[in-house]
A = this chain, B = another copy of it.
């Protein structure tokens, strides 16, 4: 190839990139019961998200994903597709290398290899927690190369690790299992993973309930209104009891914040991130001022400096937005990882 035709080829490639970068991408969030999707551009949804039922079995799921993409293609010009799925994902090959209970038979499926030749579109596959973290990060910071940890506080603790603006995957694509960092060494409380003293066993919703029940076992029934609900205790009961000045509910809630803060401090000392973004079902119950104080109080000064803790702003659409944005960024941004 001579210099001129090389130059032309570079110019054509750049024009292609410019055109593609003005188009939206399709973001798909594949869950155990439903598939949610929508068009994504500039770090946000640009079409009303749609939902489909997740069919049973690997072949049927792939076929459904294909039909969804073709449906969008028929009505829109799209730059590419991002698929967020449960399970561990080899993002280079686009394969689900380990599955979850939610999607039996899904492990081993090469989503990219199946969909790319049929749809003629670039397909990017990512773990759903990582995609949601990327969505939260991009929505807040766009292309700034910051480091942010997204922490999902719900029935468990999950998350995604964004380092210098990119998802960090680790050696076996298994990084970000932050719910299973240890906050004690004394084999005190068993986690659902089968090991003791994981952060999740204390900092999740069920963790808060367990802590509350332990406290209740140390007082008598006249000392807390929560005794009435001891058999069907929920976070709402605790919040309501706090509003009624119940000392035990307050104590449990403070302890829960303390437990959450310990995990955040540990991550902060290791990775010195700029921000934590808290999402998940428990995130509306967090007292962010209290939590930030607790974290900054326990972290080294240079780690605490500028460290911020925010609540998620995307909610259930984080996965769609993140998946779509991954497809968009693959066109316009260089890939470090």
* Chain A residues with a Cβ under 8 A of chain B: 3-4, 7, 88, 98, 146-147, 161, 163-164, 168-178, 180-186, 193, 195, 202, 258-259, 262, 265-267, 269-274, 298-300, 302-303, 305-307, 336-337
Q: Are B193 and A300 in contact (CB under 8 A)?
A: yes
Q: Are A168 and B163 in contact (CB under 8 A)?
A: yes
Q: Are A177 and B98 in contact (CB under 8 A)?
A: no
Residues of B close to A262: CB separation below 8 A: 182, 185
Q: Are A185 and B259 in contact (CB under 8 A)?
A: yes
Q: Are A168 and B271 in contact (CB under 8 A)?
A: yes
Residues of B close to A177: CB separation below 8 A: 269-270, 272, 300, 303
Q: Are A175 and B272 in contact (CB under 8 A)?
A: yes
A-B contacts, 15 of them at CB < 8 A, read: A3-B7, A88-B302, A172-B302, A173-B272, A175-B271, A177-B272, A181-B270, A182-B265, A182-B266, A183-B183, A184-B186, A185-B202, A266-B266, A267-B270, A336-B336
A181 to B265, CA, bound (A): 7
A336 to B147, CA, bound (A): 14
A327 to B289, CA, bound (A): 44
CB nearest to A307 among chain B residues: B171
Q: Are A300 and B180 in contact (CB under 8 A)?
A: yes
Q: A3-B3, A164-B337, A300-B193 are in contact. Are A272 and B170 (CB under 8 A)?
A: yes
Nearest-neighbour CB distance to chain B for A231, whole angstroms, equals 27
Q: 20 additional contacts, CB 8 Å, given A170-B272, A195-B298? A: A3-B3, A3-B4, A98-B302, A147-B171, A161-B271, A164-B337, A170-B303, A171-B273, A174-B300, A174-B305, A175-B270, A177-B272, A177-B300, A178-B269, A182-B265, A182-B298, A184-B186, A185-B262, A193-B300, A270-B271
Nearest-neighbour CB distance to chain B for A21, whole angstroms, equals 22
Residues of B close to A298: CB separation below 8 A: 182, 195
Nearest-neighbour CB distance to chain B for A258, whole angstroms, equals 6
Q: A185-B258, A185-B262 are in contact. Are A269 and B180 (CB under 8 A)?
A: yes
A269 to B265, CA, bound (A): 15
Q: Are B180 and A183 in contact (CB under 8 A)?
A: no
Residues of B close to A336: CB separation below 8 A: 164, 336
Nearest-neighbour CB distance to chain B for A42, whole angstroms, equals 25
